[in-house]
Structure 1
């Protein structure tokens, strides 16, 4: 498959691990493919089958869009299930916040080495690590805040980003870049505070596709953004679970979970370091709201899909 010339990140990491042996799949996963797909169309069919099988096994309501990148035209759509439905983004909304902050950096109104003080009254619990410190006063760079928000999905970092770019500005950047449904929710009493809002599988897929293509940000900001999402200290319960560390470094990922919602989106890179596939998965289930771990049925489905999709991408003719 010939892929569109797109922004390459961290090729050295991927090339060094290209020959790594495959790790065992999650229990219940299908055996590794024994025959290479003849072309992109066949690869898309196999990905669609894997999605259909695993989403049905997990149950719940799903929205999804999975696309294969190709330089001969638009991306090949492997999966599109109710992808325009507007749903709670949960922490996947942090992609939009990071995009707006980095866009402000590209405009010269901020810099990665600008600093904020971590004050006790801005601390928010849940996911992340700042709230564990119990003592504060740290001088944090914008780079530190963005890494905390994207990699361990720190919730306090959302409030810190609100001091850098308020909710109205964030939504304005998203609108200017063509996103009509991806929004944060402003706090009318404090414009520097916001709540995570909504998105669609379609727009999240589009955001990551255009980001990987270098169309949304400068080359420097694009490299920073995708480099953090590919970090090996990031999220591994879902798509990246049954992969070696070298394989994991080839998947840029953002996960979001709140109440019944379990969302995950990312970019899969080929062994040459080129973006090859973009996925956006959203699901809502009943009876598992308090399970934020790897045993959640949707997260287990993500893991099985991840292994299958990664192998399909890797087996495509080049």
Structure 2
């Protein structure tokens, strides 16, 4: 049974123009040069996509030398695809929209009964005993930091599937939807496109998707160093990882395995400078959810390339900022 079924049942880039990458049989990539970060990203993307195999749908955009956001990779970016756990960003957006309107609060408590527990990703199914009262902030953190599947069901208790879709539609998303089932408070995680996920991320980073405080809440969770780092953030220091907000999604269907990752990279002073939305379907190695899956290894190589490319990005002084405190180890006490 796939996780989708279980859920339902229960970069100073110079003046280089953006290049659309279409089709599956590309010309030789050539050797990217350090003087052209956009070319470096595109070349690495093509190399890693072709090595990993499968069918990729991707969008990467970065701040250019003028301070404007420009597409760097546009590879079938309007393809409607199952987002799997990347969709948890959209679910969290719907919950926070109701918080912003005063219909919910992050401190509001719900019981966590055994009947709602769902396995797979997360922590709640590991408890072995249930019945706690937990806050909305608690299960949103679990859903975004460790991709908890039970937390999705908790979200459905406060924002039913049809309402989630209404909120997403009101925010201008056409294809980003959860898939309702008979129980109005449960749903499949549904579909999105790379371009719409880029739009969600860019608006989140610039604090226009939700209130500034709600955007800060979601960004702090997704940037925290205890989150997912098998992919884009794999070969980064802890400080570097904290400059990347990311969400991973993985499952499989009749076409093969899917391995997705979407997120935002920030400058040293907290300005958003790059977004990535990478969706890969039709892959092999269905049961490998670890760092050695070829698509996840591709994400890791591309993540390092993208991060190095943004190191010289000039950010306009007026750009929106988001900062997280530096990680410090604590030995109890």
TM interval, shorter chain, is 0.7 to 0.9
Q: Which moved more, 1:279-288 or 1:66-75?
A: 66-75
C-alpha deviation, 1:244, in angstroms: 0.3
C-alpha deviation, 1:315, in angstroms: 3.0
Q: RMSD between aligned alpha carbons? A: 1.7
1:130 aligns to 2:112 (yes or no): no
Matched residue SS, 1:79: strand
Tell me the equivalent position of 2:293.
296
TM-score (norm 1): 0.86
Q: Determine the C-alpha separation between the residues in 2 that align with 1:104 and 1:72.
A: 36
1:88–1:199 Cα contact (<8 Å) kept:
yes
- Per-residue CA shift, 1:234-263, capped at 9, x if unaligned? 000000000000000000000000111110
Q: Determine the C-alpha separation between the residues in 1 that align with 2:204 and 2:64.
A: 15
C-alpha deviation, 1:316, in angstroms: 3.4
- Per-residue CA shift, 1:160-213, capped at 9, x if unaligned? 00001000010001101011111111112x101111111111111110011111
- Per-residue CA shift, 1:48-87, capped at 9, x if unaligned? 1111111111111101000013595752110000010111
1:120 aligns to 2:114 (yes or no): yes
Tell me the equivalent position of 2:207.
214
1:91 aligns to 2:88 (yes or no): no
Tell me the equivalent position of 2:217.
224
Q: Determine the C-alpha separation between the residues in 2 that align with 1:272 and 1:73.
A: 15
Tell me the equivalent position of 1:203.
196
TM-score (norm 2): 0.82
1:44 aligns to 2:38 (yes or no): yes
> Which portions of structure 1, spanning 4 or more consecutive aligned residues, are displaced by more than 4 angstroms?
70-74
* CA distance 1:34–1:271, shift in 2 (3 Å): farther
1:307 aligns to 2:301 (yes or no): no
1:44–1:77 Cα contact (<8 Å) kept:
no
Paired positions, count: 283
Match for 1:274 among 246, 271, 276? 271
1:183 aligns to 2:165 (yes or no): no
C-alpha deviation, 1:46, in angstroms: 1.8
Q: Determine the C-alpha separation between the residues in 1 that align with 2:33 and 2:81.
A: 37
Matched residue SS, 1:229: helix
* CA distance 1:167–1:126, shift in 2 (3 Å): same
Q: Determine the C-alpha separation between the residues in 2 that align with 1:169 and 1:136.
A: 28
Q: Determine the C-alpha separation between the residues in 1 that align with 2:58 and 2:125.
A: 33
Q: Determine the C-alpha separation between the residues in 2 that align with 1:276 and 1:85.
A: 24
Tell me the equivalent position of 1:159.
153
Matched residue SS, 2:283: coil
Q: Tell me: higher relative CO, structure 1 or 2? Use CA pairs within 8 A at least 6 residues apart.
A: 1
Q: Which moved more, 1:73-82 or 1:120-129?
A: 73-82
1:287 aligns to 2:284 (yes or no): yes
Gaps of 5+ in 2: 1-10, 14-31, 316-333
1:43–1:316 Cα contact (<8 Å) kept:
no
